[in-house]
């Protein structure tokens, strides 16, 4: 395609000159932006290196302090373990101390519940607070009275008759029996 320039000659020369001429002002703004970006990047890099060096120095100081305190830390841990063992022993002693008088109170309350003309031949308690009482009397009514007294006592609960057998002792008729009940630990601690 053919181009025709309809501009006067003076305009043509000026147009050629402006297209061909290179202004210094056109490079200043990009160079300033490039320099500013370079300074920001360099400042950030220096800041990060300084921060990393500070953190490395802090870590080294803390490691040195940790190594210096290692014997004290080990001693504190050993003392904590000894304290836990001592607390366990004290707990066992307290439990034994609480149960120390339980048997005495139990036998005292059992003796209070025994009516006249009833004799106990044995009493045994297992680990689950179950008490088994064996005895001899002359009548089933006396066994019933004994069971009623046990039920009224705050130390005993769930009183049950396991067996009651008639037998003889010499010329007298007797009733041999076994009663089981639960010992209430809350009441024995009083």
pLDDT tens per residue across span 83-139: 999 999 999 888 887 767 777 888 899 999 999 989 999 998 887 788 899 999 998
Q: Residue 5: which region, alpha, beta or left (left: phi > 0; alpha: psi -120 to 50)? A: beta
pLDDT at 97: 79
pLDDT band, residue 172 (cuts 50/70/90): confident
CB 183 within 8 Å of CB 131: yes
**Residue 188: is its pLDDT beyond 50?**
no
Residue tagged 């680990």 (tokens) = 127
In the chain, what are the domains? Answer: 101-188 (3.30.1360.100)
pLDDT at 49: 94
Percent residues over pLDDT 90 in the chain: 51
- pLDDT tens digits, 54-81: 999 999 999 999 899 999 999 999 999 9
The CA distance from 147 to 95, in Å, is 30
DSSP H or E segment with residue 136: strand 130-137
Cβ count within 10 A of residue 27: 10
Give the phi and the psi of residue 38 in degrees, each rounded to 5: -65, -40
**Pick from 175, 142, 181, 190: which is nearest to 161 by CA?**
181
pTM of the full structure: 0.50
**Residue 11: is its pLDDT beyond 70?**
no
Residue tagged 């402006």 (tokens) = 18
**Residue 189: is its pLDDT beyond 60?**
no
Cβ count within 10 A of residue 139: 13
**Residue 175: is its pLDDT beyond 60?**
yes
């Amino acid at each position: 395609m053919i181009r025709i320039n309809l501009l006067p000659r003076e305009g043509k020369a000026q147009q050629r000159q402006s297209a061909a001429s290179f202004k210094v002002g056109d490079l200043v703004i990009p160079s300033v932006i490039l320099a500013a970006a370079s300074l920001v990047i360099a400042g950030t890099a220096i800041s990060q290196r300084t921060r990393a060096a500070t953190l490395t120095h802090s870590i080294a100081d803390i490691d040195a302090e940790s190594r210096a305190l290692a014997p004290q830390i080990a001693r504190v841990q050993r003392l904590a373990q000894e304290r836990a063992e001592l607390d366990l022993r004290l707990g066992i002693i307290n439990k034994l101390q609480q149960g120390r008088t339980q048997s005495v109170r139990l036998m005292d309350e059992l003796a209070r519940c025994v009516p006249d003309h009833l004799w106990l031949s044995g009493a045994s308690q297992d680990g689950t607070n179950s008490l088994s009482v064996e005895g001899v009397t002359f009548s089933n009514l006396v066994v019933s009275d004994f069971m009623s007294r046990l039920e009224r006592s705050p130390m005993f609960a769930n009183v049950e008759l396991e067996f009651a057998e008639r037998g003889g002792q010499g010329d007298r008729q007797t009733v041999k029996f076994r009663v089981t009940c639960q010992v209430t630990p809350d009441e024995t601690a009083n």
